[in-house]
Amino acid sequence: MDRLDALRVFCAVVEHSSFSRAATELNISVAKTSKLVQSLEQALNTSLLRRNTRRITLTEAGERYYHDVVPLLEEMANIDARVERMTTTITGTLRMTMPLDFGRRLIMPLIPDFKLTYPDLELDIELSDRHADLVAEGFDLGLRVANLKDSSLIAKPLGTYRMKCAASPEYLARHPAINTPEDLEAHPCLTYSLSAQPSNWHLIRGEEEARVRVRSALQLNNGDLLAQAACQHLGVLYQPDFILSTYLDSGALTPILTDWQDRMVHAWLVYPARKYLPMKVQAMLGFLKNHLSDQ
């Protein structure tokens, strides 16, 4: 028998001075009412109610118990109501983690709009180029631009981006031409440490696949800094378009191997597997889906 139910039933019986009225009130059978009170008495090894078939009065222990239990039940109801409110409204703090560049270029511009939509939701965003452990560090939501490790996390695709090769015009002028993927092997390359295999670049043209093992002249966990290195003529870059676009537009970098169809990279939203996804997470999921897919 559920102890908390037993307490509630006991209180109802006391308040109505009757098992049958309490049962009616609580919408349970009279038999259950009787059994629950008995189970409570058994658990406490005490009679709480003096009773015959016509009357009910509290024993001294019962009086004390009732007196103490009523505020406890009220408090319990308050606690439940508080949690209920937390789950049905979009409030509190949403803790996220995402790669620095992705956050800076794609997410931050959306934040003002988000805050207007959900003014009561605090955001706690960690910008970090590493794979944080969502569970260990208490993140509600993570944003990943990479191959996902196997994990108990739930992953939702957020968008796809194209990987492009590029280098600075000056670098290209001073080094051998790059016409095929294999030509890359002769060049110093700028590699991204969070890729599954940083030095293995993977290009596609029609049905044709090329896997090139490049020489890493510089490896970083931050794509923007890699691009800046490329601008300083340090080597060939292989990064998603949302990083490169600024540099290509300004002419600081020049695309190469443009006839090779760029491989797609997926961005993912990941969150700890849960049956009961909090509203705040759902809100962010929906918001990002809407605002990033039609970008």
Partner DNA sequence: TCACTGTTTTCCAAATTCGAAAAAGCCATT
Partner DNA sequence: AATGGCTTTTTCGAATTTGGAAAACAGTGA
| Interacting residues toward a copy of itself by CB under 8 A | 1-5, 41-42, 44-47, 50-61, 64-65, 68-69, 72, 75-76, 79-80, 82-84, 86-87, 92-93, 133-138, 140, 151-152, 272, 274-278
Q: Is 32 in the site for DNA (CB under 7 A)?
A: yes
For DNA, the binding residue among 68, 150, 207, 259 (CB under 7 A) is 150
* Phi/psi at 107 (5° precision): -90, -50
Instruction: Provide, rounded to whole angstroms, the least separation between the CB of residue 31 and a copy of itself.
Output: 18
For DNA, the binding residue among 151, 216, 219, 221 (CB under 7 A) is 151
**Helix H or strand E encompassing 207:** none
Specify whether the CB–CB gap between 188 and 235 falls below 8 A.
Answer: yes
Give dist(CA 17, CA 247) in Å, integer.
81
**Helix H or strand E encompassing 190:** strand 188-192
Closer by beta carbon to a copy of itself, 133 or else 182: 133
Binding partner of residue 77 among a copy of itself, DNA, none, CB under 5 to 8 Å per kind? none
Q: Is 153 in the site for DNA (CB under 7 A)?
A: yes
Amino acid at 169: P
Specify whether the CB–CB gap between 266 and 156 falls below 8 A.
Answer: no
Q: Is 136 in the site for DNA (CB under 7 A)?
A: yes
CA 181 to chain centre: 37
**Helix H or strand E encompassing 166:** strand 153-167
Cα angle value 163/164/166 (rounded, 5°): 150
Residues in region 49-78 near DNA by CB under 7 A: 51-56
The strand pairing partners of 113, in sequence order, are none
Q: Is 38 in the site for DNA (CB under 7 A)?
A: yes
For DNA, the binding residue among 4, 15, 31, 74 (CB under 7 A) is 31
Please report, as ranges, the residues that interact with DNA according to CB under 7 A. 1-2, 18-21, 28-32, 34-39, 51-56, 133, 135-136, 150-153
